[in-house]
């Protein structure tokens, strides 16, 4: 079963306007890219259930520092993303390596990648290696498990 995502365009007055509701991350990415090509306004996709932003396009470079978070525990990922947002960061958060690779296949600028601690070390190490290969100039913070 695929997750449902809402695609939004941010109007010039700053209010988001829902443009579409789609199922599946890959289809969401295609719909968002299509919308971003038709407008100069900021566009984003959010998980319909959690309201977690999973992808943004047409963001002005000076707007905010951008963090891409790969979480393996949805609740912890949501809390971490909200904490970072409350400190002024733009956060894109996904669950798992495959979702991250889908979203990172389109060119976007990030200042930091954060890899959550809830997955086995091998899974996290695989993602670190992939990120360093795909985006060698972006810092990677891999969180260690608490024990």
| 56: in domain | no
How many Cβ atoms are within 10 Å of 27's Cβ, its own excluded? 13
In total, how many domains does the chain have? 2
Q: Specify the length of the chain in residues.
A: 147
Do 38 and 68 lie in one domain? The reply is: no
* pLDDT digits 0-9 by tens, 87-108: 778 888 899 999 899 888 877 7
* pLDDT digits 0-9 by tens, 22-72: 999 899 999 999 999 999 898 999 999 988 888 888 876 556 688 999 999
Q: Three-state SS for 19?
A: strand
- pLDDT category of residue 12 using cuts at 50, 70 and 90: confident
pTM (2 decimals)? 0.65
pLDDT of residue 63: 61
pLDDT of residue 127: 94
- For the chain, the distance separating the N- and C-terminal CA atoms, rounded to the nearest angstrom, is 33
**CATH number of the domain residue 146 falls in:** 3.40.50.2300
Element (H, E) at 74: helix 74-86
Do 143 and 75 lie in one domain? The reply is: yes
């Amino acid at each position: 079963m695929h997750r449902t995502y809402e695609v939004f365009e941010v109007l010039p007055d700053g209010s988001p306007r829902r443009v579409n509701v789609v199922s599946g991350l890959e289809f969401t990415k295609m719909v968002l890219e299509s919308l971003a090509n038709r407008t100069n306004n900021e566009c984003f996709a959010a998980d319909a259930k959690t309201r977690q932003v999973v992808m943004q396009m047409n963001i002005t470079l000076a707007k905010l520092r951008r963090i891409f978070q790969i979480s393996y525990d949805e609740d912890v990922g949501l809390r971490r993303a909200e904490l970072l947002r409350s400190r002024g960061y733009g956060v894109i958060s996904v669950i798992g390596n495959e979702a991250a690779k889908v979203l990172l296949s389109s060119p976007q600028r990030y200042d930091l990648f954060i890899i959550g601690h809830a997955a086995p070390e091998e899974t996290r190490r695989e993602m670190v290696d992939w990120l360093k290969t795909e985006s060698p100039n972006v810092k990677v913070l891999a969180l260690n498990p608490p024990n």
